[in-house]
Structure 1
């Protein structure tokens, strides 16, 4: 009988990296022979769940209206529609966790699956998540129940200083019920040892479980804006002067035209949007991948921007983004001996090594880490 696996991860929203890590992890676990689904919901008391369903009906009705009638509310949904279509097409999702708000419901959830897996990205960072939720606090503590494991779970930062009140004690209690713990950063291994008293393994982000050819197959058919290698691809999550300075320096050094991967924010009126929708609509996930695959150089403040530059063997520079979790960047780049690709805001000259990385050495490390991670998943599931 095929073992049933539920993956618990953060809500996907408009996060390309979040969508692709969920896609990659589910795909690999399915390839290993498991019946796997992904749940991005959170537990809700029944009153809140009923209220959510009421507003879900209202949302559905509003989505039937013409865009121009309800533009202020519909704008965000419209520009991210392509990402939602990718998730609907490529991810098998369920809404089980949101109903597990009572001990009885938690016990029922536990009976439905053989293994509960949490990962990846910053699922154990209190700034983004209710940590006990992502340690399966809704499941009963009875022995002999389903397995609890993690894969490349991230704290995002160097410590658990964001944990407040009883969160740390509750997290310590819950994580010790796990059958296997895998974290994404080297700092996560230390946190597990020092804060929770457990041993953890370090593994690469789920997106790295697939090779570049798998992503090229997804991107096939997406229209590339420029011939391969002709553009300086800029993927920025936040506005800051440091990234502008790095972008200008690299553009001048390589003679490449900068191209932002993200469009302008939605305009205040539907009339402005209708005049040129392509200026505002977020690129499809396939087009996003195609942009990285074709880039001549990448400048980014995104963790997954770094990941896909590495996967596609594109030279890159990353501007340290402390608010979003600097430890993630440091651990990733140190693993591949690419620490010189990370620059601090206000840094001076760019290290010349970033323009000609030793991709053969990087790929050897990546192949070994990918094989080790797949072996871990096959073993713990």
Structure 2
């Protein structure tokens, strides 16, 4: 009998990484013979984020940006409708989730920062599966993250009690692992890779038709970072293409500014890039997946989780902070930064991490 699995995560979003991690986890499980469905939970905080995105302050000063923002939302939603099996019912309040508590054999929460109690979303307990009874439905986490949270504070005991009802717990990063361990939990917690590493994207990727070689930028850059990328592009004879984030300082230097593209097109621009510049976690992930040389600009709230990926692979030098002395001089004279990224040993190390994560999910959490 085929197990029916429900997944609760951030899927209703304009974030490419969040969308693709939901797709990847669902597709990986389907490829391994499970009946999988995304539980369409859209909390008030998530809906508010989307509303702010659709109607940004002072949007009347830039109607073109407003139109692009709406087009991006349509593209993201169309991708979800086409590629994910989503529950027939939408849930806007957490107490209504009780209606689905007997529909699944297993429910998985994760991935992404669904446990980030330090975010404006706070502690949203459905992402800890509080609408289920662990005796009736197996509760599993796959690669959730506490994000920028460094202390559980008053939520510590409540989170501890919620996790005690889980069959199996895994997280995405060392910070999340440490926070749970500090709670005095008496069961084993696994660290696993982000679900986007679990599959390939041959079935959905739309390869760009850009013929010139280019630096791909994913992330909103400040003035110093934009000037840095411009200097690199001129030095190496590369065009600059930006995707998925509105550009201000970089805009005058762009060949293409693709703020509103669909996730399958987004993947295609990563696939064809000669070099990737990002300050987003999933920008780093997909640069590695497609084996592209990259730099990731340091961001205070993201440094910890990106180091979780960079350090085991020996890629710490790819994390740059332009406020540090001599970074620019070092970068522009270092031709190795445009060389192929992963050595055979690094690729083997990454594949080992991926296999451990697959084994956890299939042989431990779902056995």
State TM-score, norm by structure 2.
0.81
Question: CA separation in 2, counterparts of 1:157 and 1:257?
Answer: 34
**1:156-305 correspondence runs (5 A):** 156-157=147-148, 159-160=150-151, 163=152, 166-197=154-185, 198-210=187-199, 214-220=200-206, 222-227=207-212, 230-236=213-219, 238-262=220-244, 264=246, 282-305=260-283
2:253 matched to which residue of 1?
none
8 Å contact from structure 1 (residues 120, 151) kept in 2: yes
Question: CA separation in 1, counterparts of 2:97 and 2:260?
Answer: 37
Question: CA separation in 1, counterparts of 2:74 and 2:305?
Answer: 29
Shift in alpha-carbon separation, 1:182–1:128, aligned structure 2, 3 A: farther
State TM-score, norm by structure 1.
0.78
Shift in alpha-carbon separation, 1:352–1:225, aligned structure 2, 3 A: closer
Q: CA deviation at 1:83?
A: 2.0
Question: CA separation in 2, counterparts of 1:343 and 1:19?
Answer: 27
**CA offsets, 1:153-184, max 9 Å, x none?**
11113623xx56x4332111101211111111
Shift in alpha-carbon separation, 1:218–1:72, aligned structure 2, 3 A: closer
Q: CA deviation at 1:92?
A: 0.7
Match of 1:310, SS state, is helix
Of Structure 1 and Structure 2, the greater helix share is in 1
Q: Is the aligned partner of 1:372 residue 2:360? A: no
Q: What CA RMSD, in Å, does the superposition of the two structures yield over aligned residues? A: 3.0
> Structure 2: which 5+ residue stretches go unaligned?
48-62, 248-255
> Structure 1: which 5+ residue stretches go unaligned?
45-51, 53-69, 266-277
8 Å contact from structure 2 (residues 142, 192) kept in 1: yes
Match of 2:87, SS state, is coil
8 Å contact from structure 1 (residues 193, 199) kept in 2: no
Q: CA deviation at 1:35?
A: 1.0
1:85 matched to which residue of 2?
78
Question: CA separation in 2, counterparts of 1:364 and 1:312?
Answer: 15
Question: CA separation in 2, counterparts of 1:305 and 1:158?
Answer: 21
8 Å contact from structure 1 (residues 192, 199) kept in 2: no
Of Structure 1 and Structure 2, the greater strand share is in 2
2:51 matched to which residue of 1?
none
Shift in alpha-carbon separation, 1:75–1:43, aligned structure 2, 3 A: closer
